[in-house]
A and B are shown apart, each in its own frame.
Chain A
Amino acid sequence: QVQLQESDPGLVQPSETLSLTCNVSGGSITDFYWTWIRQPPGKTLEWLGYIYNNGRPNYNPALRSRVTISVDTSRRQFSLKLTSVTAADTAVYYCARGWGISTSLDSWGQGSLVTVSA
């Protein structure tokens, strides 16, 4: 049974870089779409992007200039970096595992609330 666990950066200063790591345990780290999703308070879910194995990441075009997703298979973790954050980036950030023809997200981390504030 795969389990995903996000790190907890908590508070991030405006204009700085948000960094999150997701540790993957209990399952394969290859052949899945390792995905980041976020959810601002009271709003719907926003897909940020994914990385498949060590291939080229696929990002949300709205964030492409600020987002980087990478994977370290040897450490069984994948990461999100979001630069130049503002209050609009305040959200619960989820890591998730995607698979199959519809790239459904069948396993999720518990979520990490990131607040952007001075």
Chain B
Amino acid sequence: DIQLTQSPSSLSASVGDRVVITCRASQSIGAHVNWYQQKLGRAPKLLIYAVSSLQSGVPSRFRGSGSGTEFTLIIYGLQPEDFATYFCQQSYNVPYTFGQGTNLEIK
């Protein structure tokens, strides 16, 4: 199975900050990387697909980038509604796998 390791596992930040979350894969996964946001008690929500494409309706402050084995989600100008847990996912090989999550908290 392809392992995805997110860093950091948790992060404290303030409204207006720029936040960077990294996802490292145990092997190259091409462009088959998606990012999700999950709030407590809710289903995940798709933010970014295929590394860098913004899902319809998602604010443009969310940006995805990367290639090979290293991928990044950047949030520019954190808003109060962005405090949540973020997961990366690979769909390069079965079983599709998720990172362990990054918990973004208010400082």
Q: Collect the chain A residues with CB atoms within 8 Å of residue B42's CB.
A: 110-111
Give the residue among A60, A94, A101, A102 with the most B Cβ atoms within 10 A.
Answer: A102
The prevalent SS among residues of B at the interface is loop
1/0 contact trace for B11-45 toward A, CB 8 Å? 00000000000000000000111101000001111
Could you tell me the distance in whole angstroms from the C-beta of B105 to the nearest C-beta in chain A? 16
The answer to whether A104 touches B43, judged by C-beta atoms less than 8 angstroms apart, is no
**Contact at A45–B50, with CB atoms within 8 Å?**
no
| Complex: A88 Cα to B97 Cα, angstroms | 18
- Say whether B32 contacts A102, CB under 8 Å: yes
**Residues of B contacting A60 with CB < 8 Å?**
94-95
Give chain B nearest CB distance to A48 CB in angstroms.
Answer: 9
Contacts of B87 in A (CB 8 A): 44-45
Report which A residues bind B (CB closer than 8 A).
44-47, 58-62, 94, 96, 98, 100-106, 108-111
